[in-house]
Chains A and B, each alone.
Chain A
Amino acid sequence: MSVLEDLGRETTGFFSYAGGAALLLADCARFIGKLRIRVNETIEQAYNLGVQSWGIVLLTSLCTGMVFALESANQAVAYGVGNLVGGAVAFTMARELGPMLSAVVVAGRSGAAISAELGSMVVTEQIEALQSLGLSPTRMLVVPRLVALVVMLPILTVFADIVSIIGGAYIANVFAHVSNESFINSARASVPFIDVCKGLLKSVVFAVIIAIVGSYSGLQTRGGAAGVGKATTSAVVIAIILIFIFNFALSYILFPQ
């Protein structure tokens, strides 16, 4: 009986969360559609959530591009296809790993920050204070974070793609003697511009997931400091799971085999 009760509670909780997050997204879309966006707050959030994530995003992408080249370059040279290493690295990074890794890193850093900040505002009654002043927390707090991430995550992803390819070219040159020219030519030939754009479209979707999940989890915080901790953890976990699921779905739709 308790198993069934737990199952029922979890199922209800899942649909309640999904419905609430969808309503929050719809509310944001309404404000954005009417151009009721707080520009200064959005710029500040773009700095906090985007610019301050550059270091960790670039480092992660650089290392991933280098590891990918390290593992593939010697094998490719041994089979006589060393000139394809650049294509393999660029193809994988632009279409899959660049958008996804950037999103996962930003979910861990900025998604957690959004949730913790809004959660703290809930427990200190600041969200209720906004409502009591006749102001919408969605417009005041969520829309700026959403717009900031939708702008900044694709930009971060472009830099992540570039840095990972540069790192891959360096490692392929040093360890497998693949010339930089051959690496770059292969990369350019393998990844059409439209694929880069599709990768960035993924980033936009991931940005929406991070901002909405972070904000909704934060706004649902209950029970003081412990509640803020729980909300932050759940925001990061849910966002990362959704990023992986949506990455598969978007790859299936955008890059038909």
Chain B
Amino acid sequence: MTQTLPSTKIYARLENVGVRYGPKVVMQNLSLDIVEGAITCIIGLSGAGKSTILRLLNGLRRPDEGRVLVGDQDISTLHERELIVIREKIGFSFQFAALFDSLSIFDNVALPLRERTAMSELEIKSHVEETLDSVGLATVGERFPAELSGGMVKRAGFARAVIANPHAVLYDEPTTGLDPIITHVLTDLIIRLRARLNGTAVVVSHDLESIYQMADYVAMLFEGAIIAYGTVDEIKASLNPIVQQFIQGSEVGPIPI
């Protein structure tokens, strides 16, 4: 099953995408629309290729087949230097935050502004402090990533992803390995950041409670293709036995254990 939405304004589109890692086919003929201004969550089994979709959307991975459109532009054929312009408009929050060990939290968040803008150090300081405050990290700017808890590191990753006011933010497993309280905090934060940026968000996650809370649309990836797409209620009501087995966490069903 492929999924496109002809009547809704689309931020990005994967068109008949194929991806291989060596001999292993990860995606085949996959199509997916990312609706502008919405939070789209991608669910699926571990190793299904969910994170690869995020990498396709900002050009970190090129498809072996098909096209990746951001707006009207096919980014799959762009040169690395041309991709920089695309990436400046798309924030990326990594699964383990990927903060730079040698920089303080403040410097991690300030890096895109220092390297890409002509802002003065005073303006950068003000903007970074405001963003750190918005993710609840106002007091830890001088500390280093190794000195923070997992939840704080993730929030610092969020802050770095949104500091340059991107049009879209991609979140890779934002709540994995965190306790329920921090998971709830981060889910709220994703909703608030999307509203603040007035932009688009794509979230890859296994955390169904969190997804039900934040998602406008949910896409399920299985064996290299999107097998279900819709609102949370539509996904919950899906008649597809694979979707039902996945969302119920059942051992019994068509998904091989």
Contact = CB atoms under 8 A, between A and B. Distances in A.
Mostly helix, strand, loop or mixed at chain B's interface? mixed
Interface stretch (B109-117, B181-189, B217-225): B109-117
Interface residues of B, number: 23
B87 A132 contact: yes
Interface string A130-151: 0111111000100000000000
Interface in B45-99: 55, 58, 60, 80, 84-85, 87-88, 90-92, 94-96, 98-99
Nearest to B59: A131
Contact of B116 (A124, A126, A129, A135): A135
Contacts of B80: 136
Contact of A132 (B92, B96, B100, B115): B92
Contacts of A129: 92, 94, 98-100, 160
Nearest to A27: B80
Contacts of B92: 128-129, 132-133
A126 B98 contact: yes
B60 A132 contact: yes
A71 B92 CA distance: 63
Contacts, number: 52
Contacts of B95: 125
A133 B92 CA distance: 8
B111 A124 contact: no
B90 to A, nearest CB: 8
Contacts of A140: 115
A133 B90 CA distance: 8
B193 to A, nearest CB: 16
A125 B111 contact: no
Contacts of A132: 58, 60, 87, 90-92, 94
Interface of A: 124-126, 128-129, 131-136, 140
Given A132-B94, A134-B116, 14 more contacts: A124-B96, A125-B95, A126-B99, A128-B98, A129-B92, A129-B99, A129-B160, A131-B60, A132-B87, A133-B92, A133-B111, A133-B116, A134-B85, A134-B87
Interface of B: 55, 58, 60, 80, 84-85, 87-88, 90-92, 94-96, 98-101, 111-112, 115-116, 160
19 contacts: A124-B96, A124-B98, A128-B55, A128-B92, A128-B98, A129-B92, A129-B98, A129-B99, A129-B100, A131-B60, A132-B58, A132-B91, A132-B92, A133-B92, A133-B115, A134-B85, A134-B87, A134-B88, A136-B84
